[in-house]
A and B are shown apart, each in its own frame.
Chain A
């Protein structure tokens, strides 16, 4: 008991002198707390690699659209354009590694078609083009044609310069009696790599 009291008294006397040791101890504790076995440089290797499936365009073209019944003349090529504004977006340009187009045609018109997809830049300059032949079918037995196009490397750079696509459908011949429908469904798979490019 007495012993405790003496120690206590001594410590009380020392208490002012203990300020520095206490602060010192805390400082040491704070200094020795650390973050180790870590490698924050690895942050630059972080990359999101989503694979995105997205519908592209679709259409249903009736055989009658290839013939002008008023003037009684064939219309051999139908053409239409739509913007795809995200294609030439800077972030998208940097992140797109590969793209895969899938075009599914169902043709009940007894004609073979030539279908082109011409990608144009904002200034209407062609940057990339793909095309395919669509097999002929009949109204009774529509024929399915699939066209898959993988785009990578240099072609990706060309594709992502564009912000619109012109679709041209060319028929070799037509007349007023032509029947059937050309249907397209399409989608694109975008393989992205999103990372810090400094």
Chain B
């Protein structure tokens, strides 16, 4: 069952690209688009997200493999398929799971025409790179890899569960510029991180001076894991973990900022930088670090002369002690500071077609919008092995006063075929939106390497 769980985690979670919400970015009918660009344009007078339902975001993906690659019906043996995938993938491939749940989200326009917004959301974000060499070692063993240096530094993973409290302001400062910023307080519930590891493992045939057949050599190993909120987990109730969400966890600070520039009535450029921040892990911290070099040659017997009843040398214990001495695992309980993964969004949009409402008028001066637009968006997130990027081409159409749709085509590390679709409806004061990508795989999600879904309900009061 354990293997199935691991494989399910590794290959099975088929529900875009971690945290890239390319459909919602710039989708002004959705109040949550403000979370992606605090300097976005805000059409409404106020909004109030329905608690726990204003944004549900789930996304999971694997850059190198889909569920279908492994579990698809095939005449090829499943183990052969897994083996082929292990060799096809590289250590730059990764698996991610991101989930966000908005607990509260609200905003209102003040009399000085500043749009204030705030709220609380919970976020789970896990990424693990594919430790290819270790996978080969586990799958094949070392017999066919004598002399090959397995890179133990390929182990790289982070995971965070936190609550985020935020408050921001947005203002159209002149005809062309809308700017905004948001302050965030992070309350980390659980966090782990194992990055920047190094070291190699090799088995090679011993030479004339070697005491035994082989030399199993671990060289220049430096592997560390930082955890917070985990050490006390065994004797902590779920309630206490949840309690950490209420400023009871390890706290951090961050900011988001962004801007929109309306070049003319057809062209608009926008950009945002999110989660420039740090979390200070001071409570319930445990860091483990193993460093050193070691060569294993097996056990040397020395046949000591023994009297009756006398027990021999505890070779195995001595070996274990020697390994622990040469590659000590230090446990450190001092705090550490964790940088949040910074996200950058940018977009350029060309609007065309009739103005909203169908009237031909000098609407630009009235701040009205055209019903259609096309554009390009860029997204990047800083990850342990460098930034991951995605580019999106989009088409937007306000079909009716109450219904808008946006279609996207995204190139990202997962695939070149990611088509996404989002709609937002205003039914009375009720705003509902849903956005999902990899539509082309909708007929069979198993074939998608990633799927992302966002949906939510808000009360929105339009501008008079």
Contact = CB atoms under 8 A, between A and B. Distances in A.
Interface of A: 1, 4-5, 8, 11-12, 15-16, 18-19, 22, 26, 29, 32-40, 42-59, 61, 65, 78-85, 102, 104, 167, 169, 185-187, 189-190, 192, 194-196, 198
Given A15-B427, A81-B312, 12 more contacts: A4-B358, A8-B401, A19-B427, A37-B444, A43-B4, A44-B4, A54-B214, A54-B216, A57-B299, A80-B301, A192-B141, A194-B3
B301 A59 contact: yes
Interface residues of B, number: 61
A124 to B, nearest CB: 11
Nearest to A19: B427
Nearest to B211: A58
Contact of B71 (A16, A38, A59): A38
Contacts of B216: 54-55
B316 interface: yes
13 contacts: A8-B401, A12-B400, A18-B402, A38-B446, A40-B71, A45-B79, A49-B79, A56-B299, A58-B300, A59-B300, A59-B302, A83-B316, A169-B303
A53 B140 CA distance: 11
A49 B139 CA distance: 6
Contacts of A39: 71-73
Contact of A196 (B3, B302, B434): B3
A15 B212 CA distance: 82
Given A12-B401, A35-B444, A82 B137 contact: no
Nearest to A12: B401
Contacts, number: 174
B178 to A, nearest CB: 28
Nearest to A68: B305
Main SS class of interface, B: mixed
A57 to B, nearest CB: 5
Contacts of B211: 58, 185
Contacts of B302: 59, 80
B87 interface: no
B143 interface: yes
Contacts of B140: 50-51
Contacts of B316: 82-85
Given A12-B401, A40-B71, A187-B212, A34 B143 contact: no
Contact of B214 (A5, A49, A53): A53
B445 interface: yes
Given A42-B78, A187-B214, A196 B4 contact: yes
Nearest to B446: A35
Contacts of A84: 316
Contact of A22 (B78, B143, B425): B425
B142 A42 contact: no
Given A18-B427, A37-B73, A185-B206, A55 B141 contact: no
Closest 6 CB pairs of A and B: A50-B141, A55-B298, A83-B316, A51-B141, A51-B143, A82-B315
